[in-house]
Amino acid sequence: MKSNASAPGKIILFGEHFVVYGVKAILCAINKRVTVSASKIHENTISIKSNIGDLNMPPNKPITEIKSPLKPFYFLANKMIEKHNQNTGIEILVQSEIPLGVGLGSSSACCVAGAAAISRLFSETSKKEILELAIEAERTIFQNTSGADCTVCTFGGIMEYDKKNGFSKINSEPNFHLVIANSKIEHSTEAIVANVKQFKEKNEEKFSNLCKEESELINNVLVLLRNNDLSGLGKNMLKNQEYLETIGISNEKLRSMIELAQESSFGAKITGAGGGGCIIALTDESNLENVVEQFKKKNYECFSAKIDFKGLDTF
């Protein structure tokens, strides 16, 4: 028997960094997916094959001994074998359309699709249970994950998230397109979050004002999303970008990418931790090719994306 699942990646539309300090953020699933296939096998091994390498290990190894980035899959397979007390091995195949390590939710999508494909080899599992398993698996690589990424990868669409109240789905279905361009500068989310903490400690009042402004911006954005007001959303992206510039997570390259995007889109900003990673530009269908072309002409790696409303899919 084979169990298949796929889950979308994500972007942060508004509110990264400020969300760490309690402000609401808006996240959005994108139509780039990770697909995971799992099968039981006779050999006593957990075998994982992916486009970033393979991992083959017998079950029951302590998770701390696994150094591979494929660790969450091992964790999930081992957990399910143990839970169902079965004498089986598992073969897992991972295929991803989401670039790695640039804030587009590839690890969360892997954990969600992995949790679904692997757990469903043993029993029917609800989306809620899959999400809990996925967050547990993601904690094997990012101890402090808020769980927001896994949540949006599971349920799809757009959601608001804050630390106190958790997530809630936004029921608007705006019809924008995004162009996502990769700066190819590697970044560590942890290090950048630490830099922002330092900025905050040196500039308490300024930071607190920025949090207030970001909160107001997000409240406006919620209305603009309901009204499918792309021009208004684009303006707010640029405003949000100014706040991100102020807290020091931007750089020359990201700024020049945003400027380039501004020439042809409604607005653009960094998405995620910054310091590198990706920027997003907001556009509509009629102008999509034009925005992509601007980036391609300057040799940037870029692609277009839409909101994914489906979330986790099992088949």
Contact 221, 233 (CB under 8 A): yes
Nearer to ligand PMV, 190 or 263 (CB): 190
Q: Supply the minimum distance, in Å, between the C-beta of residue 15 and ligand PMV.
A: 8
Of 5, 8, 14, 16, the residue at the interface with ligand PMV (CB under 6 A) is 16
Q: Supply the minimum distance, in Å, between the C-beta of residue 161 and ligand PMV.
A: 9
CA dist 98 → 17, 53, 257, 282, 299 (Å): 22, 15, 20, 19, 19
Q: Supply the minimum distance, in Å, between the C-beta of residue 210 and ligand PMV.
A: 14
The rounded distance, in Å, linking the Cα atoms of 315 and 162 is 32
Tell me which residues in 177-196 interact with ligand PMV (CB under 6 A). Answer: 189, 193
Helix, strand, or coil (residue 232)? helix
Q: Supply the minimum distance, in Å, between the C-beta of residue 8 and ligand PMV.
A: 14
CA dist 218 → 54, 184, 212 (Å): 42, 28, 10
The rounded distance, in Å, linking the Cα atoms of 41 and 83 is 17
The rounded distance, in Å, linking the Cα atoms of 282 and 162 is 23
Tell me which residues in 111-150 interact with ligand PMV (CB under 6 A). Answer: 146
Nearer to ligand PMV, 59 or 105 (CB): 105
Residue whose C-beta lies closest to ligand PMV: 272
Task: Look at the block and give the residue holding tokens 């091992």.
Answer: 74
| Residue 273 touching ligand PMV (CB under 6 A) | yes
Q: Say whether 308 is catalytic.
A: no
How many residues form the binding site for ligand PMV (CB under 6 A)? Answer: 12
Q: Supply the minimum distance, in Å, between the C-beta of residue 151 and ligand PMV.
A: 12
Q: Which stretch binds ligand PMV (CB under 6 A): 34-42, 220-228, 271-279, 294-302?
A: 271-279
| Residue 239 touching ligand PMV (CB under 6 A) | no
Closest CA to 88 of 130, 129, 118, 54: 118
Please state whether 156 falls in left (phi above 0), alpha (psi between -120 and 50) or beta.
Answer: left
Which positions lie near ligand PMV, rule CB under 6 A?
Answer: 12, 16-17, 19-20, 103, 146, 189, 193, 272-273, 277
Positions annotated as catalytic residues are 149
